[in-house]
């Protein structure tokens, strides 16, 4: 990995830089070299990601979207590291929607996996061009020069030239065909604990998010959506709303049946958000609710359970599971369920859009500026690239802001009013008319031989799937959505995967960790149950399951997953758990998702039926770490999100509409329940993979296993303690 | 004569509907966007500011109830952004997305003003109304303890 070389063409291709590539921007002429007549050009650019000012101030652009996961620190720090830039001289800016930044849609924990090498190469390329510039000035060979801390230094005489002085010469240097990347031992920032580039702004209230966009002439909108997916407006009585002082318009927004388009509703435009929100309350809207009015999650979940407890549609089979189950004397079966979840980031959906006759400009908290261009392009019948999207910092997203229905709505309102519109969804609309993590049921039956080797594994899953967003006629999750089951790293002699019927009645959307939430829960909980059935120590049993995996291509993964499991067992004092006080227990779980390995050991105390999580040890192997602090923060956050979904949060539908409305009946975890979280990071040289999502999956099963160890009570339904709504 | 309100030491005329919550007066009229909208019902704490030094939820507090009161927002908590809590927040690298942090810091500042040496349990009880979906709670508790220590040494 280190010292690798890349061809220039390959670099440009993967970075997505337009031809010509390097561009350094220099604001003003007049630096030392210009005065000496050495440079003639005053305006330059290094490449799409790097702008260097004549005084050395460096701007590094982040093309991937920031929502709190720390990507706008991690990736630019990799650029700075290879460039030998001084981080103190670097300002990070979020890139607007532009193909020159490469793929910008931010999800699937893919940013680091996809952009780590291109970013390093961008930095290394800039460094070589700066060195070449200095060599030209000194009339020496580049071999005699090296870069360090924002300077190029002449090895022969220790002369120094600053990056700023060199910028405009560097621009005219040929783009190197190959770059040599630094060795791990040479890293300045990669793998260290660099603070987030913007935390100083956060603590003084100066960090701005999509919701904070202001501009002259801005009007404010609030809206109500059809409470049932697929419904439409029958009639709107606007009289009372329009009578309110400060209300300028009431606008009907029809359903726009493209992925990520509005589900339809009515918006009020006013002089401020408060007035708009108040006026929405005064609207009298009659809806034609449509066919999804039949949706009741309580009954639907029971139906999913029924659908997985009987034969379902075959997705994949290896060996003969039915024969194995028939032959074995040691069998176990269990059914697991989970409810819908709302992302509920602290910043509700918000954007500003200004549609004019020949332009459309967007300022939005988003995970996917490209989808904004696509949807608005479709709606306005303009070229996607004509839609200018300024990517704002998102105040949390967790998958919600990948979908741009709220931006589309602001565009409709702006198109009809001709002014820039800021649309902010209320918390209630955010919770009631969003996209949801899928409700789900799984049933597993397994057989074992006398030694506790698993001979057959029958796994049925039923859940309305994300592909239903794009094909609403789907009646069950397609095979591809179940491939994580047959690809699981457990070694079983035969496996059969079936997909149970589950038609979608609401919009299913990526939610942090996505299907890994319920797959991780079922696999690690069921393995724990099997261990007790086999009379074995759960850790020994799970290791045996991994050891029985004979697939050659998974050998390396087996080694890594066992290592993180061993690490949390050691750190949590698992091996001495018999010394824990009465009512306490430790549970283990490990899951591989999004190319990363995460294990958790959860230590609980159970009194009567109260569960108190005391400690959580997390071990991660995501290859080379970019930022230790960022990785640690992602794990702490994953525990909190995992704990909310394991214990309390669930979205309930009745007669097609969401019943929950705000944080009083969607009880996300609060500070008093925070356990002591310890994060253990595997030192690795392997290619880095992401951590935004993989930490969420192992928490709930580790908790279920811990509660069982402490109390003998087994929880198989997420959340364990749903609030009655 | 128009009624007014004092925000971060500056007098502002209340030129809006008297029912308007302080949150929207700050955000949409004065464009002090550091105070955040989270729930609109006083359930999440993102909009926390101080009235005469005490934390309140600005999303449910009408401006009309604040005539001539001293309001402090995150922008006015300290002159140079160097309140002990702000320093502790940086030192512990608390923020992830950062959206809730202004409310968290303002709530914590109100706690330390009345209880300069809170126990962990007191910190948790006091901060229970402030939600962070990114999950920075462990660091928030640590940062508040650290700020309390700093303040006691500086006193």
Summarize pLDDT for B5-35 with one digit per residue, the tens: 999 999 999 999 999 999 999 999 999 999 9
The more confident residue out of A6 and B47 is B47
A671 contacts B141? CB cut-off 8 A: yes
Kindly tell me if the per-residue pLDDT of A15 is higher than 60.
no
Residues A279 and A334 in one domain: no
Kindly tell me if the per-residue pLDDT of A24 is higher than 60.
no
Closest approach of B155 to chain A, Cα-based (Å) = 23
Kindly tell me if the per-residue pLDDT of A567 is higher than 50.
yes
Kindly tell me if the per-residue pLDDT of A135 is higher than 60.
yes
pLDDT in tens, A408-426: 999 999 999 999 999 999 9
Confidence (pLDDT) at B155: 77
A202 contacts B98? CB cut-off 8 A: yes
A69 contacts B96? CB cut-off 8 A: yes
Point out the residue among A274, A278, A346 whose CB comes nearest to the CB of B99.
Answer: A346
Percentage of residues in chain A having pLDDT higher than 70: 94
Point out the residue among A273, A426, A663 whose CB comes nearest to the CB of B131.
Answer: A663
Closest approach of B36 to chain A, Cα-based (Å) = 8
- The verdict on A479 touching B (C-beta cutoff 8 Å) is no
Q: Which of B18, B99, B118, B136 to mutate against chain A (most A CBs within 10 Å)?
A: B99
Q: With beta carbons under 8 A apart, name residues in chain B contacting A393.
A: 97-98
Residues A261 and A308 in one domain: no
Kindly tell me if the per-residue pLDDT of A536 is higher than 80.
yes
Q: With beta carbons under 8 A apart, name residues in chain B contacting A198.
A: 98
The CATH number covering residue A111 comes to: 3.30.365.10
Interface of B with A in 122-141 (CB under 8 A): 123-125, 127-141
Point out the residue among A273, A668, A674 whose CB comes nearest to the CB of B133.
Answer: A668
Query: Average pLDDT for residues A594-604, to the nearest whole number?
Result: 98
Whether A101 is in a domain gets the answer: yes
Q: With beta carbons under 8 A apart, name residues in chain A contacting B31.
A: 214
Q: Distance between CA A708 and CA A539 in Å, rounded?
A: 15
B28 contacts A198? CB cut-off 8 A: no
Residues A289 and A404 in one domain: yes
Whether A424 is in a domain gets the answer: no
Cis amide prior to A719 (ω within 30 degrees)? yes
Q: With beta carbons under 8 A apart, name residues in chain B contacting A636.
A: 135-136, 138-139
Strands (E), A402-515: 421-424, 436-437, 440-448, 454-462, 495-499
Confidence (pLDDT) at A46: 65
The CATH number covering residue A360 comes to: 3.90.1170.50
Residues A652 and A675 in one domain: yes
Helix (H) and strand (E) counts in chain A: 20, 28
Confidence (pLDDT) at A725: 85
Residues A124 and A252 in one domain: no
Confidence (pLDDT) at B44: 98
Helix %, strand %, coil % of chain B (to 5): 45, 15, 45
Confidence (pLDDT) at A33: 39
Closest approach of B24 to chain A, Cα-based (Å) = 6
Residues A368 and A471 in one domain: no
- The verdict on B143 touching A (C-beta cutoff 8 Å) is no
A344 contacts B133? CB cut-off 8 A: yes
Kindly tell me if the per-residue pLDDT of B63 is higher than 90.
yes
B39 contacts A636? CB cut-off 8 A: no
Three-state secondary structure of A207-222: CCEHHHCCCCCCEEEE
Query: Average pLDDT for residues A294-311, to the nearest whole number?
Result: 98
- The verdict on B104 touching A (C-beta cutoff 8 Å) is no
Structure tokens at A538: 């759960």
pLDDT in tens, A694-710: 999 999 999 999 999 99
B97 contacts A393? CB cut-off 8 A: yes
Closest approach of A616 to chain B, Cα-based (Å) = 12
Q: Which of B50, B87, B95, B147 to mutate against chain A (most A CBs within 10 Å)?
A: B95
The more confident residue out of A23 and A433 is A433
Residues A448 and A511 in one domain: yes
Q: Which of A272, A511, A254 is nearest to A405 (CA)?
A: A254
Query: Average pLDDT for residues A269-286, to the nearest whole number?
Result: 98
Whether A666 is in a domain gets the answer: yes
- The verdict on B42 touching A (C-beta cutoff 8 Å) is no
Whether A110 is in a domain gets the answer: yes
Kindly tell me if the per-residue pLDDT of A147 is higher than 80.
yes
Kindly tell me if the per-residue pLDDT of A37 is higher than 90.
no
Of A369, A385, A417, the last residue of a domain is: A417
> CA-based diameter of chain B, in Å?
49
Kindly tell me if the per-residue pLDDT of A151 is higher than 90.
yes
Residues A633 and A509 in one domain: yes
A662 contacts B41? CB cut-off 8 A: yes
Kindly tell me if the per-residue pLDDT of A613 is higher than 80.
yes
The more confident residue out of A486 and A8 is A486
Confidence (pLDDT) at A48: 83
Report all structural domains of chain B as residue ranges with CATH numbers, in order of start.
4-76 (3.10.20.30), 84-154 (1.10.150.120)
Sign of the dihedral through C-alpha A654, A658, A661, A662:
positive
pLDDT band for position A85 (cuts 50, 70, 90): very high
Of A417, A452, A487, the last residue of a domain is: A417
Provide the domain limits for residue A221.
211-294+356-417
Closest approach of B94 to chain A, Cα-based (Å) = 8
Q: Distance between CA A460 and CA A465 in Å, rounded?
A: 14
Interface of A with B in 176-235 (CB under 8 A): 193, 195-196, 198-200, 202-209, 211-212, 214, 220
A636 contacts B139? CB cut-off 8 A: yes
Q: Which of A555, A572, A577 is nearest to A619 (CA)?
A: A572
Q: How many domains does chain A have?
A: 3
Of A156, A172, A200, the last residue of a domain is: A200
pLDDT in tens, A252-261: 999 999 999 9
Residues A278 and A182 in one domain: no
Query: Average pLDDT for residues A283-301, to the nearest whole number?
Result: 98
The DSSP secondary structure of A641-662, one letter per residue, reads HHHHHHHT--B-EETTEE---S
Mean pLDDT, rounded, of chain B: 97
Phi, psi of B131 (to 5 degrees): -90, 140
Closest approach of B118 to chain A, Cα-based (Å) = 14
Kindly tell me if the per-residue pLDDT of A30 is higher than 80.
no
Tell me if A339 sits within 8 A of A297, measured CB to CB.
Answer: yes
Residues A18 and A127 in one domain: yes
- The verdict on A243 touching B (C-beta cutoff 8 Å) is no
Confidence (pLDDT) at A45: 58
Mean pLDDT, rounded, of chain A: 93
Compute the count of residue pairs across chains A and B with CB atoms less than 8 Å apart. 188
pLDDT in tens, A647-656: 999 999 999 9
Residues A260 and A133 in one domain: no
A670 contacts B131? CB cut-off 8 A: yes
Residues A184 and A321 in one domain: no
B21 contacts A346? CB cut-off 8 A: no
Residue given tokens 């996996």 in the structure block = A113
Whether A216 is in a domain gets the answer: yes
- The verdict on A513 touching B (C-beta cutoff 8 Å) is no
> CA-based diameter of chain A, in Å?
89
Point out the residue among A193, A209, A640 whose CB comes nearest to the CB of B99.
Answer: A209
């Amino acid at each position: 990995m280190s010292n690798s070389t890349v061809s220039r063409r390959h670099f440009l291709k993967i970075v997505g830089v337009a031809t010509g590539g390097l561009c350094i921007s220099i604001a003003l002429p007049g630096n030392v070299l210009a005065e000496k007549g050495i440079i003639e050009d005053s305006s330059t650019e290094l490449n799409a990601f790097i702008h260097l000012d004549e005084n050395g101030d460096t701007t590094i652009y982040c093309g991937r979207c920031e929502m709190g996961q720390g990507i706008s620190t991690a990736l630019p720090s990799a650029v700075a590291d290879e460039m030998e830039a001084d981080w103190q001289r670097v300002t990070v800016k979020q890139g607007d929607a532009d193909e020159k930044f490469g793929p910008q849609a931010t999800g699937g924990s893919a940013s680091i996996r996809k952009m780590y090498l291109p970013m390093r190469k961008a930095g290394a390329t800039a460094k070589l061009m700066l060195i070449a510039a200095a060599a030209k000035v000194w009339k020496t060979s580049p071999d005699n020069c090296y870069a360090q801390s924002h300077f190029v230094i002449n090895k022969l005489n220790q002369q120094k030239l600053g990056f700023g002085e060199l910028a405009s010469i560097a621009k005219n240097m040929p783009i190197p065909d190959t770059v040599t990347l630094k060795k791990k031992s040479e890293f300045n920032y990669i793998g260290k604990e660099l603070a987030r580039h913007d935390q100083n702004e956060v603590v003084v209230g100066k960090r701005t998010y999509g919701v904070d966009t202001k501009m002259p002439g801005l009007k404010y909108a609030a809206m109500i959506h059809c409470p049932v997916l697929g419904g439409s407006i029958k009639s709107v009585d606007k009289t009372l709303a329009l009578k309110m002082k400060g209300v300028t318009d009431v606008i009907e927004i029809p359903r726009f049946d493209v992925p990520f388009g509005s589900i339809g509703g009515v918006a009020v435009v006013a002089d401020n958000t408060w007035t708009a929100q108040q006026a929405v309350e005064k609207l009298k809207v009659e809806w034609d609710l449509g066919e999804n009015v039949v949706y009741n999650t309580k009954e639907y979940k029971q139906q999913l359970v029924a659908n997985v407890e009987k034969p379902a549609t075959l997705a994949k089979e290896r060996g003969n599971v039915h024969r194995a189950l028939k032959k074995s004397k040691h069998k176990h079966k269990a059914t697991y369920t989970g409810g819908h979840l709302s992302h509920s980031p602290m910043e509700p959906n918000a954007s500003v859009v200004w549609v004019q006759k020949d332009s459309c400009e967007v300022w939005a908290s988003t995970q996917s500026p490209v989808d904004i261009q696509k949807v608005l392009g479709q709606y306005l019948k303009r070229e996607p690239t004509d839609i200018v999207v300024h990517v704002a910092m998102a105040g949390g997203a967790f998958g919600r802001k990948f979908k741009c229905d709220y931006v589309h709505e602001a565009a409709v309102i702006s198109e009809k009013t001709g002014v820039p519109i800021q649309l902010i969804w209320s918390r209630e609309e955010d919770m009631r008319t969003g996209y949801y993590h899928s409700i789900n049921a799984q049933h597993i039956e397994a057989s074992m031989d006398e030694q506790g080797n698993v001979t057959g594994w029958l796994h049925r899953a039923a859940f309305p799937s994300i592909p239903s967003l794009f094909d609403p006629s789907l009646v069950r999750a397609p095979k591809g959505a179940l491939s994580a089951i047959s690809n699981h790293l457990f070694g079983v002699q035969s496996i059969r995967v079936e997909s149970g019927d589950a038609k979608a009645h609401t919009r299913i959307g990526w939610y942090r960790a996505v299907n890994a939430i319920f797959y991780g829960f079922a696999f690690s909980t069921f393995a724990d149950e099997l261990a007790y059935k086999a009379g074995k120590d759960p850790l020994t049993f799970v290791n045996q399951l991994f050891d029985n995996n004979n697939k050659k291509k998974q050998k390396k993964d087996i080694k890594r997953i066992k290592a993180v499991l061993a690490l949390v067992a050691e750190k949590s004092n698992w091996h001495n758990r018999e010394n824990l006080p009465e009512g306490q227990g430790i549970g283990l779980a490990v899951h591989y998702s999004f190319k990363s390995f995460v294990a958790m050991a959860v230590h609980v105390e159970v009194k009567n039926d109260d569960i108190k999580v005391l400690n959580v040890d997390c071990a991660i192997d995501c290859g080379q770490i970019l930022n230790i602090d960022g990785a640690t923060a992602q794990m702490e956050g994953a525990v909190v999100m995992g704990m909310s979904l394991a214990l309390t949060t669930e979205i309930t539908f009745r007669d097609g509409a969401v019943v929950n409305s705000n944080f009083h009946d969607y009880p996300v975890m609060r500070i008093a329940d925070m356990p002591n979280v310890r994060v253990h990071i595997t030192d690795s040289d392997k290619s880095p993979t992401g951590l935004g999502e993989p930490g969420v999956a192992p928490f709930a099963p580790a908790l279920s296993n811990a509660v069982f160890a402490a109390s003998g009570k087994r929880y198989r339904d997420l959340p364990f303690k749903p609030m009655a709504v | 004569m128009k009624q007014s309100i004092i925000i971060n030491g500056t007098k502002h005329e209340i030129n809006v509907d008297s029912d308007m919550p302080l949150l929207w007066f700050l955000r949409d009229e004065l464009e002090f966007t550091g105070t955040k909208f989270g729930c609109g019902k006083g359930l999440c704490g993102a909009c926390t500011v101080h009235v005469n030094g005490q934390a309140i939820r600005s999303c449910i507090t009408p401006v009309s109830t604040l005539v001539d009161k001293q309001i402090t927002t995150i922008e006015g908590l300290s002159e140079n952004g160097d309140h002990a809590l702000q320093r502790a927040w940086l030192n512990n690298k608390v923020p992830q997305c950062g959206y809730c942090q202004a409310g968290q810091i303002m709530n914590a500042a109100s706690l330390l003003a009345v209880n300069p040496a809170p126990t962990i349990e007191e910190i948790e009880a006091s901060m229970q109304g402030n939600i962070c979906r990114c999950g920075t709670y462990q660091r928030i508790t640590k940062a508040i303890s650290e700020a309390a220590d700093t303040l006691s040494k500086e006193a």
